[in-house]
């Protein structure tokens, strides 16, 4: 099982406030077109990123500074991005796959190697992080990290307290993976990520198995457990849970760290009285890295490099982390990251928590197919 403890977590930092950012969602521009751009940069840039994953000023500021128009599309699943990339001629200039998906897409020849000389902020990337990432992108040839985070438990503080007398139980996956516990949250709304590649490894880890096992019999232990939970799961979705937690229509989710914390902040700002919190359970969980990469057939290369380099500027990376509550890979940004975020152990896990985090491996195609089949069975209740 791969373990990673970021060194900079122990570094004492000067507090430098960057200033408050608004918390409105990024307006998604038109999705990138179908590869019809000219062979040289056209004054546009086609970006395809995760939803709720960029500070609202970043794209407009880049457009102004560079004098280009950015077509900014969003997705909420690695599988969706992968289908578009493997189909070819996606029209995208910059995409943001999770590391383990990137590894597989590199093997499929989807990306061009990065010309690091065109990224003047490359030297500012955290060397420990780059070493860790090189396990799946050897030599860091094809991508640079954008943001990273964990998969954990998002919950409504009052509903959990009403059901269990306190929120202590959120410190363990027992809350979600024991049917007798999950059933107590059924009526206030339980949502799971709609992502077998995210959820199954977390269940395997909880069961004491290798989260990256490719053994069909081991994988089926996870789905057997998930089937016992199915009656209590209201829905599977990988982005709607942010709004659902915010407005109180969901009370318990398996979700991604920054997304849950955005829900917490949105609820606080709305004054609706809903209190949301995020937990990294003590049994450990998946750590993910989302990566910036350029498809082989990208047409607007100068703009693609300029955009990636822009995102790696310490002040831009800090503004992004302040807005989306995900850590970035640029250590020089840390003094500009809000103290509340920098000191939040659910965002920057302390060493003892980090020691329990595992990374997801590149799945062989047959294991991927197995995951997909089991997931469909789970969702449809077969
Ligand atoms: N709303 C942004 C969520 C980004 C999550 N990325 C997850 C990648 C998991 N491997």
Q: Output the domain CATH number for residue 60.
A: 3.40.190.10
Based on the fold, state whether residues 330 and 343 are members of the same structural domain.
yes
Q: Assess whether 365 and 255 both reside in one domain.
A: yes
158 domain-assigned: yes
**Which residue has the CA at smallest separation from atom 3 of ligand 1?**
50
What's the CA-to-centroid distance between 90 and ligand 1, angstroms?
Answer: 20
From ligand 1's centre to the CA of 25, what distance in Å?
16
Query: How many domains, in total, are found in the chain?
Result: 2
Is there an atom of ligand 1 within 6 Å of 50 CB? Answer: yes
User: Distance, CA 256 to ligand 1 centroid (Å)?
Assistant: 6
For the record, the structure tokens of 259 come out as: 């997304």
The segments of the chain whose pLDDT lies below 50 read 1-39
CB 256 near ligand 1, within 6 Å: yes
Flag whether 134 is in a domain.
yes
Residues 130 and 208 occupy one common structural domain = no
Would you say the CB of residue 198 lies under 6 angstroms from ligand 1?
A: yes
Taking the CA of residue 51 as reference, the ligand 1 atom at the shortest distance is: 1
Assess whether 229 and 371 both reside in one domain. Answer: yes
Q: What is the rounded (10 degree) CA torsion for 70, 241, 376, 101?
A: 40
Q: Which residue range forms the structural domain that includes residue 134?
A: 7-149+288-348
Q: How far is the CA of 159 from the centre of ligand 1 (A)?
A: 26
State whether 34 and 132 are in the same domain: yes
What sign does the dihedral 57-74-372-176 (CA atoms) show?
Answer: positive
Q: Are residues 32 and 67 part of one domain?
A: yes
Shared domain for 29 and 166, answered yes or no, is: no
290 SS3 class: strand
Query: Would residue 92 count as lying in a domain?
Result: yes
Cβ 98 under 6 angstroms from ligand 1: yes
The pLDDT score that the predictor gives to residue 336 is 98
The minimum-distance atom of ligand 1 relative to the CA of 52 is: 1
Distance, CA of 288 to CA of 292 (rounded, Å): 13
Q: Cα–chain-centroid distance for residue 344?
A: 17
Q: Kindly state whether residue 2 falls inside one of the protein's structural domains.
A: no
Contact (Cβ atoms closer than 8 angstroms) between residue 102 and residue 134:
no
Does residue 119 sit in the same domain as residue 157?
no
Pair 123, 245 in one domain? no
Q: Which two tokens stand for residue 211?
A: 């989260």
In a domain, 243, yes or no: yes
* Same domain? 236 vs 361: yes
Confidence (pLDDT) at 381: 84
Look at residue 1 and tell me if it is in a domain.
Answer: no
Question: Same structural domain for residues 134 and 183?
Answer: no
Domain shared by 272 and 299, yes or no: no
Measure Cα distances from 4 to 119, 147, 287, 360 in Å. 26, 16, 9, 12
Ligand 1 atom, smallest distance to 239 CA: 1
Question: Which residue's CA is minimally distant from atom 5 of ligand 1?
Answer: 256
């Amino acid at each position: 099982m791969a373990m990673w403890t970021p060194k900079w977590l122990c570094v004492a930092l000067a507090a430098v406030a960057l200033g408050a950012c608004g918390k409105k969602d990024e307006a998604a521009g038109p999705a990138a077109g179908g590869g019809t751009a000219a062979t040289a940069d056209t004054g546009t840039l086609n970006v395809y990123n995760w939803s709720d994953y960029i500070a609202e000023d970043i794209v407009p500021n880049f457009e102004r500074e560079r004098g280009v128009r950015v077509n900014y599309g969003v997705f909420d699943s690695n599988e969706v991005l992968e289908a578009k990339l493997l189909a070819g001629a996606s029209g995208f200039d910059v995409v943001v796959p999770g590391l383990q998906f990137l590894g597989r897409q590199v093997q499929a020849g989807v990306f061009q190697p990065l010309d690091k000389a065109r990224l003047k902020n490359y030297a500012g990337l955290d060397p420990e992080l780059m070493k860790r990432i090189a396990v799946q992108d050897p030599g860091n040839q094809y991508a640079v990290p954008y943001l990273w985070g964990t998969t954990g438990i998002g919950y409504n503080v009052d509903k959990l307290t009403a059901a269990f007398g306190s929120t202590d139980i959120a410190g363990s996956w027992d809350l979600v993976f024991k049917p007798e516990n999950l059933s107590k949250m059924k009526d206030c709304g339980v949502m799971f990520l709609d992502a077998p590649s995210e959820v199954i490894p977390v269940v395997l880890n909880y069961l004491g198995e290798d989260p990256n096992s490719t053994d069909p019999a081991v994988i089926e232990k996870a789905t057997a457990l998930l089937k016992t939970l199915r009656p209590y799961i209201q829905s599977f979705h990988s982005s709607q849970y942010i709004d659902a937690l915010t407005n109180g229509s969901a009370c318990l989710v398996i979700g991604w760290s920054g997304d849950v914390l955005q829900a917490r902040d949105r609820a606080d700002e709305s004054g609706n009285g809903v209190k949301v919190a995020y937990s990294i359970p003590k049994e450990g969980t998946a750590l993910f890295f989302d990566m910036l990469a350029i498809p082989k057939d990208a047409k607007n290369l100068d703009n693609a490099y300029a955009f990636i380099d822009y995102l790696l500027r310490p002040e831009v990376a800090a503004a992004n982390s302040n807005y989306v509550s995900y850590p970035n890979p640029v250590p020089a940004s840390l003094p500009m990251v809000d103290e509340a975020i920098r000191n939040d152990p659910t965002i920057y896990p302390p060493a003892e928590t980090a020691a329990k985090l595992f990374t997801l491996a590149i799945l062989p195609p047959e294991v991927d197919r197995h995951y997909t089949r089991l997931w469909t069975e789970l969702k449809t209740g077969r």
